[in-house]
């Protein structure tokens, strides 16, 4: 296996979510394609009206990591299969962790406030306003 990369599936809010990730996490969009720009058009009736302007595929870098995203997950109106995951952001500095946590949790839900734990100088979990789960952490040095 070469690598595993997360693929975020939004239902029409991909651009807005990526704008937040750019602002808060410094995400860099490497590639983006709208449904209307696909070399193979969607079959008739597959996309809701207006969805041709939504993101078909997006590839971004967050730090050294690749993350992909789409608006296409909810096109059929039915969600099937696995629905849960979180993305973990590991940082070196507590102040930076507080900034990232505050930015991602704005208009979202704090599941566990950012606090010191036995394994981290700071750790907290949240669900952003798009429904994506995040774990923010500043690890403690390992005891030898």
Q: According to the model, what pLDDT value does residue 2 have?
A: 63
**Nearest to residue 136, comparing CAs of 99, 85, 84?**
99
The secondary structure of residue 20, as a DSSP letter, is H
The chain-wide mean pLDDT, for the chain, equals 87
Tens-digit pLDDT profile for residues 89-116: 999 999 999 999 999 999 999 999 999 9
Of 61 and 49, the structure prediction assigns the larger pLDDT to 61
Q: According to the model, what pLDDT value does residue 106 have?
A: 97
23-50: average pLDDT: 89
Q: According to the model, what pLDDT value does residue 58 have?
A: 94
72-92: average pLDDT: 66
Token code pair at residue 52 = 């041709």
Helices (H), 2-140: 14-25, 94-105
Confidence of residue 124 (pLDDT cuts 50, 70, 90): very high
Q: How far does Cα 7 stand from its chain's mean position?
A: 8
Q: According to the model, what pLDDT value does residue 80 have?
A: 47
Q: According to the model, what pLDDT value does residue 99 have?
A: 96
pTM: 0.77
Res 77 pLDDT > 70: no
């Amino acid at each position: 296996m070469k690598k595993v990369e997360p693929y975020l599936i939004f239902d029409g809010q991909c651009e807005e979510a990526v704008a937040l990730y750019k602002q808060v996490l410094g995400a860099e969009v490497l590639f983006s394609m709208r449904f209307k720009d696909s070399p193979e058009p969607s079959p008739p009736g597959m996309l809701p009206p207006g969805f041709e302007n939504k993101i078909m595929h997006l590839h971004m870098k967050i730090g050294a990591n690749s993350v992909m995203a789409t608006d296409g997950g909810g096109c059929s109106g039915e969600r099937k299969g696995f629905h849960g995951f979180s993305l973990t952001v590991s940082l070196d500095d507590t102040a930076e962790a507080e900034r990232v946590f505050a930015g991602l949790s704005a208009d979202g839900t704090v599941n566990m406030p950012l606090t010191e734990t036995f394994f981290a100088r700071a750790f907290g979990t949240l669900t952003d306003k798009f429904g994506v789960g995040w774990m923010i952490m500043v690890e403690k040095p390992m005891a030898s």
